[in-house]
Structure 1
Amino acid sequence: MTIYKSDQPSVEIDENPMGTQILESIWKHSLHDPNKKAFVNAKDENDFVTYRELYLKIHSFVAFLAEIGVKQGDIVAPVMRNRWEYSIILFGSWVAGATVSPASFAFTDWELARQLNDCKASLLICDETSLETVLPAIKNSPSVKKLIILGDHSGHSVPGIKVYSFTDALRTAPLNSLPKIRWNTKNDVCIIPYSSGTTGPPKGVMITHCNMSAMMAMFRACLFTSVFKAIEPDYDPRNESVLIFLPFYHVYGSSLVTNSMFIGGTSVIMSSFEPEVFCSVIERYRMKTVSVVPPILVFMAKSPIVDKYDLSSLKFVASGAAPLGQDLSIEVMKRLPNVKGVHQGYGMTEMTMASHRMAPLLAVGDKISSIGTLMPNVESKIVDPNTGKSLGPYQNGEICVRSPGVMKGYLNRRKETADTIDSEGWLHTGDIGYVDKDGFFFIVDRLKELIKVRGFQVPPAELEDLLLSHPLIDDAAVIGVKDQRSGELPKAFIVRKSSTLTAEEVKKFVAEKTAPYKHLKGGVEFIEQIPRSLSGKILRKELRGSAGLAKL
């Protein structure tokens, strides 16, 4: 069996709980510079928090959680757009021993209630803009007993729910000592983001304190050994600002927020991607590197907005969450000649974030489309998806990963966990790829059926289940169709009971129940029969063929 190992030295994993590590790091940075800004609102420079203030606010929030009865193992569900206050909620919950299960602000109340009921969240925290979704959702979520609102909470009452103000929470006097908790960090779960895995509806991914600690250590090792040195020989991230706009409810976004506390620089937070704000922030703060997803690279390569701003400070662009094409990387570097490299990484929520990362200066020539080499402490192998046999260099097979970042498992889903992580600890990614003679990995196809819209995961099974609930739909199948701006878009094939059903009615039905990125913007096509195998599995390859699409 050929097992590939990282060419980087293994890193030591801190087994202390994440809250303890975070507080120690924030305190250290506050001592170095009491006025150092930890987070800044990208649209309002006067809306910021220093490391010193953050340290004190986290302590107040921990005291408030204790006051309202939040205890170890309770599930806290934040629902909000990106804002620096999220860091207080995330880190404070960890210190209190609670588990955080962030939910998308784009969810409908039906989608939100599904997650709340699945993870049994007892405390929900939201901003005012999310109340329209949150209030009807918690009425259908019996586990939720408490609600904290960022902003004005007056006039909002829900039967059986205690409603609090986040502002009042931060006025709570800190405890004399932190809550006494009996930790088992290899088993205690710190965060439960939701992922569709390789197939099926969303599942809670149980990430332990040790999983998160390992990923942060591995990630920092990559940054300090390759990325920072590539930017400038004497690059000190503590003196720099970085832009974070990837959604915090996504493991990538939460990991960037967490990692920033160990790095010690200033993170500029965008609530969501806005082209003008994106460019102006890079220009204003003279940022040297930025983390994006491929659709943002399309914007950087093609939008006339880019020409209005001075982005000459940018040296490297890191891409993740979806496959990155070689041509797009080259276009960005031509458009922004100071950019020395566009490099990508590879990972899944189930890995806590990543397993592979490309060193910026090596993303050239035939390596430009590579996902890179293995991160420290990570092992990988390529196997035949049909036989499980280990494969050698340049042979296409399923990429399997073993690392200290691999999740504990799916929440309350033993079968799905066993289907994803085998008895030897190998996580089966569902992605087809190969490794070259130099140990660089490449993604060429994917076994899994997920549709990736602007980096968001859209499981066909979820939309198919929803479509089948329509009284005029007999059968349905969903595939992803290529789109230059979004990467992919969901397209539905429908077998209808009545010819009176129109494509617009189908689109409206889905739009009313799902987040915008799940809408059927790839189209609706009516057909006589959904092609299926003898076992009943949808033959998506045939649907792609009938639509004139190459398999993604």
Structure 2
Amino acid sequence: MTIFKSHLPSVQIDERPMATQILDAIWRHSVENPSKKAMINAKDASDFVTYRQLYLHIHSYAAFLNDIKFGQEDVACVATKNRWEYPVVLTGTLAVGGIVSAASYAFTDWELARQFNDCGATLVVCEDAVLDKVRLAVKDAPKVKNIIVIGEPASTGGPGPKIYNLTEILKKEPSYRLPKIKWRVKKDLALIPYSSGTTGAPKGVMLSHYNLSAMRATFHSYLEKQVFPAISPNYDPKNEALVFFLPFYHAYGNTLMIDAICTGGTSLVMSTFDPEVFCSTIEKYRIKSVNVVPPIVVFLAKSPIVDKCDLSSLIYIGSGAAPLGQDLSDDVMRRLPNLKGLYQGYGMTEITMASHLMDPIKAVGEKISSVGDLLPNAEAIVVDPETGKRLGHNQKGEICVRSPAVMQGYLHKMHDTASTIDKDGWLHTGDIGYVDNDGLFFIVDRLKELIKVRGFQVPPAELEDLLLSHPLIADAAVVGVKDQRSGELPKAFVVRKNHSLTDEEVKKFVADKTAHYKHLKGGVEFIDVIPRSPSGKILRKELRTREAPKPKL
């Protein structure tokens, strides 16, 4: 019975509430240097926040939440792009005992309403650009009582929830003392991000304060021992700048953002990925390390924009959210001659972010495709997906992880939780991989049906349910098709009730109701019957076979 463990020593996990940890760190940084900038808008350097301002803003925001009777176990849904106000809203909400459920700003009103209702949000925080969508969504989400807008809303009147402006809220004197809460750090929820798990529609992932604390502690320990020394013997993250474009609402971006604030560096924040801003920011601030997803690696390997900027400061690139091929890694290494390495990690929302990270120094040759070693405090097994038998080195099976960062479970989904986390606490990832003789993990396939589009999760079941609501569609199945830039794109196989239905009508039907990354850019194909097993399960492998490249004659 082989249980794989990290080669790094276990770390002590801070058992204080997450907001206390973040606020204490911000206070230390503001005392050391009151004018130090915590976050800067990468497009507009005049839009920034210092650590001192961040500390005061969080307290002002928490005071406002107290005024509107938002407190312990209440849920705030946040739908914004990346911006410096995000950690204010996050930390202020956690400080009063509230829970944050972040949503994609790209969601339609239908998708927003579904999340508002499922997580039980009573407060929504959004940008002015998406206020109209939020207003439509709350018509079908009666629990929402208040909306806070970042920016200038066209109108704050009218029926529905009361609307407030964040700028006005943050002008208040932060005289408020945070409430005394009887914390159960290992159980009290901090975040409810949404994930599709191994199968099915999006589900709320219940992450406690302890989950976040464990993720931050083990992730930062790995950075200190493996990544920072590889960049430079004298590398001090407190004196460095980082560029952020990964969405803060995603587990990957959220963990990196919290770690950056707690560490005390300066973050250059991009609301969305802009190729020219990304490159010019690296050049201007002499950034040494970036965290990306595979489509950005494609950009660095192939885009002519890269040649317009001096990226010689870049020493290491960390990639996650989807597997990265060796050929692509080699292309980037050749194009950026000062780059010492490109390393990968592995994780999922259900593990708060990551369970594995590769040592940058070891990420060479055939090892470059490895997702690395386990983080401290984590352990893993590899099991035969058919028999459940535990496997040893160099045997392919499902990767299962156990760590203090593993979620509490899925919100309102006891059955899904039980099928994902077994009685011994092992989280079944749905990914197939193996462990080599050096203890490094490799991901080779996945059991789960999830489609990954530029790092975004697209659950086929969600799109299938939507397609089946169309009056002219009798049956439907969705699979991911390979795409060099996006990794995968959703493609629908559709059985029509009426031959008058066109592929463009199907595409528009989905596009009108979903975020851009869920659009059927992989195409629509009409077929006579959807292949299914005797139990009725869609045989996606058969559909994927139709998409496989045909051998040349």
TM over 0.5: yes
Shift of 1:156: 2.6
1:402 maps to 402
Report how far residue 257 of structure 1 moved: 1.1
Partner of 2:481: 481
Query: Which string of whole-angstrom CA distances, capped at 9 and with x for unpartnered residues, describes residues 10-55 of structure 1?
Result: 0000010001011100001111111111000000111110101111
Equivalent residues of 1:153, 1:164 under 8 A apart: no
TM-score (norm 1): 0.99
CA distance in 2, matches of 1:135, 1:270: 26
Per-residue deviation at 1:178? 1.3
CA distance in 2, matches of 1:263, 1:176: 26
Q: Which amino acid aligns with 1:405?
A: A
Residue aligning to 2:451: 451
Aligned to 1:97: 97
Secondary structure, aligned partner of 1:475 = strand
Shift of 1:160: 3.7
Q: Conserved in 1, the CA contact under 8 Å of 2:434 and 2:442?
A: yes
Equivalent in the alignment of 2:333: 333
Q: SS at the partner of 2:478?
A: strand
How far is 1:163 from its partner?
Answer: 1.2
CA contact (8 A) 1:382 1:392 kept: yes
1:549 CA drift (Å): 5.1
Deviations 1:170-189 (A, max 9, x none): 12222452111110010000
Instruction: Quote the Cα distance in structure 1 between the aligned partners of 2:301 and 2:544.
Output: 28
Who is 2:84 aligned against? 84
Partner of 1:255: 255
Helix, strand or coil: the match of 1:126?
strand
Give 1:153 shift. Answer: 3.5
- Is this contact kept in 2: 1:135–1:158, CA < 8 A? no
Classify the secondary structure of the residue corresponding to 1:44.
Answer: coil
Paired with 1:189 and 1:429, the residues of 2 have a C-alpha distance of 22
Q: Is the 8 A contact 1:345 1:356 kept in 2?
A: yes
- Give me the whole-angstrom Cα distance separating, in 1, the residues matched to 2:186 and 2:66: 24
Runs of at least 5 residues in structure 2 that lack an aligned partner in the other structure: none
Question: Is 1:6 the counterpart of 2:23 in the alignment?
Answer: no
Q: Give the letter for the 2:188 counterpart.
A: D
- Determine if contact 2:231/2:288 at 8 Å carries over to the other structure: yes
Alignment of 1:112-131 (within 5 A): 112-131=112-131
* Residues 1:147 and 2:147 aligned together: yes
Letter in structure 2 aligned against 1:399: I
Partner residue in 2 for 1:543: 543
Q: Secondary structure at the match of 2:470?
A: coil
Aligned to 2:178: 178
Aligned to 2:69: 69
Question: How far is the alpha carbon of 1:132 from its aligned partner?
Answer: 2.5
Shift of 1:365: 1.4
- Give the 5 Å matches for 1:353-368: 353-368=353-368
What are the equivalent positions in structure 2 for 1:384-463 lying under 5 Å apart? 384-463=384-463
User: Contact (CA 8 Å) 2:131, 2:153: kept in 1 or not?
Assistant: no
Distance between the aligned counterparts of 2:16 and 2:329, measured in 1? 39
Cα distance change, pair 125–176 in 1 and its aligned pair in 2 (3 A): closer
Q: Is the Cα contact below 8 Å between 1:481 and 1:549 reproduced in 2? A: no
Kindly report which structure 2 residues correspond to 1:217-232, keeping only aligned pairs within 5 A, or say none: 217-232=217-232
Inter-partner Cα distance in structure 2 for 1:175 and 1:5 = 47
Q: Compute the RMSD of aligned alpha carbons.
A: 0.9
- One-letter identity of the residue aligned with 2:69: G
Matched position secondary structure for 2:200:
coil
| 2:106 equivalent in structure 1 | 106
The one-letter amino acid of 1:143's match is: K
Equivalences, count: 550
Q: C-alpha distance in 2, partners of 1:124/1:445?
A: 38
Amino acid at match of 1:383: V
Q: Distance in 2 between matches of 1:349 and 1:170?
A: 31
Give secondary structure in 1 for the equivalent of 2:46: strand
431-440 vs 157-166, which moves further: 157-166
Question: Do the aligned residues in 2 keep the contact of 1:121 with 1:144 (CA within 8 Å)?
Answer: yes
Summarize deviations over 1:496-522 as a string: whole Å, max 9, x none: 011111000000000000001000000
**Is contact 2:38-2:267 (8 Å) kept?**
yes
Match of 1:311 in 2: 311
SS, match of residue 444 in structure 1: strand
Are the counterparts in 2 of residues 398 and 433 from structure 1 also a CA contact under 8 Å? yes
Does 1:285 pair with 2:297?
A: no
Distance in structure 2 (CA, Å) of the matches to 1:361 and 1:65? 47
In the aligned structure 2, how far is the partner of 1:195 from the partner of 1:176?
A: 35
Which one-letter code corresponds to 1:178 in the other structure? L
Distance 2:34 2:179 in 1: 26
State whether residues 282 and 311 of structure 1, in contact with CA within 8 Å, keep that contact through their aligned partners in structure 2.
yes
One-letter amino acid matched to 2:66: A
Q: Where does residue 216 of structure 1 map in the other structure?
A: 216
- The 2-side partners of 1:90 and 1:549 are apart by 46
Task: List gaps (5 residues or longer) in structure 1.
Answer: none
Report the counterpart of residue 192 of structure 1 in structure 2.
192
Higher mean C-alpha displacement, 28-37 vs 106-115: 28-37
Distance change >3 Å, CA 549–CA 13, structure 1 → 2: farther
| Secondary structure of 1:25 counterpart | helix
Deviations 1:481-507 (A, max 9, x none): 000000000000011011111000000
CA distance in 2 between partners of 1:44 and 1:176 (Å): 32
Structure-1 separation of matches of 2:154 and 2:130? 15
Deviation at 1:165, TM superposition (A): 1.1
Alignment match, 1:206: 206
Write the letter of the residue equivalent to 2:118. D
Q: Give the AA of the match of 2:51.
A: Y
Alignment check: 8 A CA contact 1:63 1:173 kept: no
Q: Report what 1:242 is aligned to.
A: 242
Give a deviation string over 1:113-157, Cα, whole Å, max 9, x none.
000000010000111111121110111111100011112246233
Normalised by the length of structure 2, the TM-score is 0.98
Q: Which residue of 1 aligns with 2:342?
A: 342
Change (3 A) 1:158 1:376: farther
Deviations 1:305-341 (A, max 9, x none): 0000000000000001111111111111100011110
CA distance in 1, matches of 2:327, 2:7: 28
Q: In the alignment, which residue of structure 2 is the partner of 1:530?
A: 530
Q: Bigger shift: 467-476 or 147-156? A: 147-156
1:459, distance to aligned residue in structure 2 (A): 0.5
Structure 2 CA distance, aligned partners of 1:106 and 1:170? 26
Q: Is the 8 A contact 1:36 1:51 kept in 2?
A: yes
Structure 1 counterpart SS, 2:178: coil
Alignment match, 2:471: 471
> Take 1:546 and 1:127, find their aligned partners in 2: how far apart are those partners?
42
Is this contact kept in 1: 2:60–2:176, CA < 8 A?
no
The equivalent of 2:374 in structure 1 is 374
* Deviation (angstroms), 1:158: 4.5
- Note the C-alpha offset of 1:80: 0.9
Q: Give the aligned partner of residue 272 of structure 1.
A: 272
AA in 1 matched with 2:503: A
In the alignment, which residue of structure 2 is the partner of 1:51? 51
SS at the partner of 2:322? Answer: coil
**Matched residues in 1 for 2:416 and 2:506: separation?**
30
Partner residue in 1 for 2:505: 505
Work out whether residues 122 and 145 of structure 2, in 8 Å CA contact, stay in contact via their aligned partners in 1. yes
DSSP-derived class of the 2:277 partner: helix
Aligned amino acid, residue 411 of structure 1:
L
